Amino acid sequence: MTAKQYIETVLNEVKEKHAGKTEFIQAIEEFLPTLEAYLEDHTEIIEHNLLSLIVEPERLIQFRVPWQDDEGHWQVNRAYRVQYNSAIGPYKGGLRFHPSTNESIVRFLGFEQIFKNSLTGLPIGGGKGGSDFDPKGKSDAEVMRFCQSFMTEFQKHIGPDIDVPAGDIGVGGREIGYLFGQYKRINGFAAGVLTGKPVSSWGSLARTEATGYGLVYFVENALEDRNETFEDKTVVVSGSGNVSIYAIEKAQELGAKVVTCSDSSGYIYDAEGIDLALVKEIKEIRRGRIKEYLEQHPNAVYVEGESVWSLKEAYDIALPCATQNEIDAELAQQVIASGAKIVAEGANMPSDKAAIDLYKEHGVLHCPGKAANAGGVAVSALEMAQNSARLAWSFERVDNELKDIMKNIYYTCSKTAETYAEKDDLMSGANIAGFDRVVQTMLSQGLV
């Protein structure tokens, strides 16, 4: 069986077994074909049928979460954890609290997480989870009760050397703090059981900034590889959450002008450059909507109900940092028409396959999320190291470690792409490099 035939066979198996799991199938369809050249050189993968093994998670957990709202009414949500692959370390990956969370989404996120974590070079396996609970509009007391109920069941399945969750969409320092407190109440103190913790609970400095900073460090290395810098570049960012905010902050520090941010209701375009202090106030303190930006910057433009990627102004770099599938073929055409030379993903799978094909066709450098947004999980692993040693590192030390990790990820992806595809095919480079480390470890362990 040729590598191409083998990939098609496994793809068909996945589609048959997981019909209706749209996001998961999409992730597999985008990933497996990029391995063809690698599989031609590594026929042992085909002989051992390792693709069929790696697309199935080691464990999938689903449970209910009952909780009481402020009116005394009982509510119930559904929760998941996919413990996908532990070949190179304990399961590691975030928890997402969002109404869209379902089995398909946690499967896709967990699958991507395996190879993202592998690329960091750190000893962490892949997992993901969450709930269809929506923290928006809930009081602190309601969020606390939900988190306590969630962790009462979830704690059975995690531990510092088993599965170490972190935050994701809808799960920030507040939620992690409540989750950690409930775990401690049941099991006693175990600092390394969650990452992204408040610093007072043995969280790591620079963890809050890590995903956004890491994204910009990845792009900085790509620019440096082309004898360019961020200086005087115009950057468009989607989202206004943690990743977006700190990507904006670091890009501005490096001399770029960031002109947009967005939320689910619409986007802001500020030709003068985004006022980051105001965005932080709106999103981190007020927990408000991005249209409130106009109250202090009436000359900015707010476009309601549209994607930021419909923007027709000129810019150099696109940083999608919101959610999966935010850029389709139509929006990718506008990104290209606006002059973007780099699309670097701060979210998981924000560009669909048609969009990625268009980037390649038009010579736009595509920096895939499993490489470009690996900074968050990298610093989570550094938080685990600090917890294990009972030490707290300085912000500067963590930030320098992050810079080195993102540099290594970029050059690993670039070098692997040159070997098996072409220099600028960073998606193939990331997929193959991440996959190689995991499957070689699986082979050495007897395919367990």
Write out pLDDT tens, residues 185-200: 999 999 999 999 999 9
Task: Tell me which H or E stretch contains 244.
Answer: helix 242-253
Q: What is the 3-state secondary structure (H, E, C) of 420-432?
A: HCCCCCHHHHHHH
CB 5: neighbour CB atoms within 10 A? Answer: 10
- What's the pLDDT band for 180 if we cut at 50, 70, 90? very high
Beta bridge partners of 302: 268
pLDDT tens-digit series, residues 392-425: 999 999 999 999 999 999 999 999 999 999 989 9
Mean pLDDT computed over every residue of the chain: 96
At 284 the pLDDT is 86
Average of per-residue pLDDT across 233-248: 97
Q: What is the pairing mode between strands 266-269 and 74-85?
A: unpaired
Q: 143-147, 176-180, 321-325: which has the minimum mean pLDDT?
A: 321-325
Cβ contacts of residue 85 below 8 Å, gap of 6+? 54, 57, 58, 91, 114, 125, 126, 438
Q: Which of 92, 116, 128, 341 is catalytic?
A: 128
Average of per-residue pLDDT across 197-222: 96
Q: Is 156 a catalytic residue?
A: no
59-190: CATH superfamily: Leucine Dehydrogenase, chain A, domain 1 (3.40.50.10860)
Class of CATH domain 208-363: alpha beta
Cβ contacts of residue 448 below 8 Å, gap of 6+? 442
- Asked whether residue 448 carries a pLDDT value surpassing 80, the answer given is no
pLDDT tens-digit series, residues 99-108: 999 999 999 9
Start-end of H helices in 120-206: 140-154, 173-187
- What's the pLDDT band for 253 if we cut at 50, 70, 90? very high
Average of per-residue pLDDT across 2-20: 97
pTM above 0.85, yes or no: yes
- What's the pLDDT band for 447 if we cut at 50, 70, 90? confident
Average of per-residue pLDDT across 227-247: 97
* Percent of the chain scoring above 70 in pLDDT: 100
Distance between CA atoms of 102 and 105, rounded to whole angstroms?
5
Closest of 28, 127, 27, 132 to residue 349, by C-alpha: 27
Q: Determine contact, residues 67/146, Cβ cutoff 8 Å.
A: yes
At 286 the pLDDT is 87
Q: Work out the angle between the directed axes of helices 242-253 and 207-224 (0-180°, nearest 10).
A: 50
- What's the pLDDT band for 116 if we cut at 50, 70, 90? very high
